[in-house]
Structures are given as C-alpha cells and as structure tokens.
Amino acid sequence: MSWAKNFKELNKSIHDRTFFDCGEPDLNTFIKTQAAKHMKAGISRTMVLPANVALPNQKFPICSFYCVTPSSICRETLPVNLAKKLPRYPIPVFLLAQLAVHKKFHGSGLGKVSLIKALEYLWEVNTYMPAYAIVVDCLSESAQDFYAKYGFEILCEHNGRIRMFLPMRTIKLLFNKK
Ligand SMILES: CC(C)(COP(=O)(O)OP(=O)(O)OC[C@H]1O[C@@H](n2cnc3c(N)ncnc32)[C@H](O)[C@@H]1OP(=O)(O)O)[C@@H](O)C(=O)NCCC(=O)NCCS
C-alpha cells in the first residue's frame, strides 16, 4: 500500500478511520471518534493523507493526518528577546493539535512529509490571517525529539505536556520564494 499525492480534508464517507494505528492510543481515538465531530463543531480542521487503493468497503485507509486550529499564547511564555517586541495581549498562534503516521509507515519519511504539509497549509492560512508562530503540545519525549529536529523550540509546560513553537518568520524562510 502506498499513499496518495495530496492531503484532503477528512471525510467520513470517503476515508476509513477504523484501521488507523499510529501506536499512540490518544491519537488513534482522536482520528476515529473526535476529528470529524470537532470539524462539524467548527473548532479545528483535520487533513488526511489517504492510501491510493481503496478497501473492500470502498473507503480509503488513512496513512497519516494532521489537525490544526487557531489558538493563543501568553507573551510572557516567549523568550524575553522575542516577548519584548510584542504587545501585552494574548499572542495569536496556530496550534498543530495532532500529527500522526500509521505504524506501517513509521521511518519511511511520511512524518516529515506530513509536518511539511501542515506547515505549508498554515503558511497559506497565515497570508490571510497572520499568527505569530506554530505551537505543538508534545505527547511524549519522542514527539519532542521529532519536532526539535525541525527547529521547534521549547516554550513552556502546558496541561502536563511540553509545548514547543516555531516562529512564523522561520516558516516564511521555508516557503516564501520571493
Ligand atoms: C512521530 C512520527 C510522526 C514520526 O513519523 P515517521 O514517519 O516515523 O518519521 P519520518 O520517517 O518522516 O522521520 C523523519 C525524520 O525524523 C526522525 N524521527 C522520526 N521519529 C523521531 C522521533 N521520535 N524522535 C526523533 N527523531 C525522529 C527520523 O529519524 C528522520 O530523520 P532523518 O530525516 O534524519 O532520517 C510517528 O512516529 C508517529 O506518528 N508517532 C506517533 C504519534 C506521535 O507521537 N505524534 C506526535 C504528535 S504529539
């Protein structure tokens, strides 16, 4: 099985959620039972990368997914040199709320592809509604190591998880070819 070319918005009647397993029960539960509800409620968007071959039920298995939503952080959680340039209001950010790859594809580069697609998507959104940074709340030390590899830095502890961030101006360097 290999994956399709493009990420698509999760669609319950097209994408099969039942067989998704990334090894993290919370993320498996999210894609199976919460992602579609959260989209319907208008609080986040989940994009999936389907396999390019359908199952006997005509639905396409999910190879990886990411979920994004607007959020904000306190200015004081940022390093002083960054915080001093910002107003004393909540600072708008995008939260990369979830990102996971099916176990079958771990180590095949799909985590990197999915992260870059998520950053590219948020960069596009940023052109219409700017935000200061992208933040992620890491489920595990291993997730922290993964994001650190791509330049995310520790911001603070949030609900018992390590929150990391990547400033939008760094992302600009990746995608702005002007
Ligand atoms: C973390 C996860 C997304 C990585 O996906 P993956 O497809 O295995 O990663 P890739 O094959 O694209 O690896 C890309 C690079 O990151 C590195 N990497 C992958 N997982 C890593 C980890 N846990 N820690 C440190 N580096 C990691 C790889 O070595 C590779 O480096 P290279 O380009 O120098 O060879 C995947 O393991 C996963 O879904 N885990 C469960 C869910 C999870 O923890 N999600 C994080 C959200 S909190």
Average pLDDT, integer, range 13-24: 96
Q: Domain extents for the chain?
A: 8-175
For position 169, what pLDDT does the model report? 94
Q: CA 54, 57, 61, 67 torsion: positive or negative? A: positive
Longest alpha-carbon distance in the chain: 57
> What distance in angstroms lies between residue 86's CA and the mean position of ligand 1's atoms?
33
* Helices 168-175/110-128 angle, 10° precision: 110
Which protein residue's CA is at the shortest distance from atom 21 of ligand 1? 146
Q: CA 78, 30, 98, 142 torsion: positive or negative? A: positive
Pocket (CB within 6 angstroms of ligand 1):
22-24, 27, 99-101, 105-112, 138-140, 142-143, 145-146, 149
Prediction pTM value: 0.95
For 39-98, write each residue's pLDDT tens digit.
Answer: 999 999 999 999 999 999 999 999 999 999 999 999 999 999 999 999 999 999 999 999
Q: Which of 96, 98, 17, 97 is nearest to 50 (CA)?
A: 17
Strand partners, 49: 64
> What distance in angstroms lies between residue 35's CA and the mean position of ligand 1's atoms?
21
Average pLDDT, integer, range 96-101: 98
Asked if residue 43 lies in contact with residue 70, where contact means CB atoms within 8 angstroms, the answer is no
Distances (CA, A) of 123 to 5, 23, 167: 19, 29, 11
> What distance in angstroms lies between residue 146's CA and the mean position of ligand 1's atoms?
5
For position 176, what pLDDT does the model report? 80
> What distance in angstroms lies between residue 39's CA and the mean position of ligand 1's atoms?
26
Inform me whether the pLDDT recorded for 178 exceeds 70.
no
For 104-157, write each residue's pLDDT tens digit.
Answer: 999 999 999 999 999 999 999 999 999 999 999 999 999 999 999 999 999 999
| Yes or no: domain 8-175 corresponds to CATH 3.40.630.30 | yes
Tell me the pLDDT band of 1, cut-offs 50, 70 and 90: confident
Which protein residue's CA is at the shortest distance from atom 16 of ligand 1? 146
- Within 13 A of 6's CA, how many CA atoms are on the CB side? 3
Which among 63, 116, 146 is the best mutation to test ligand 1's pocket, defined by most ligand atoms within 8 Å of the CB? Answer: 146
Which regions of 52-109 does DSSP assign to beta strands (E)? 60-73, 91-101
Which protein residue's CA is at the shortest distance from atom 44 of ligand 1? 143
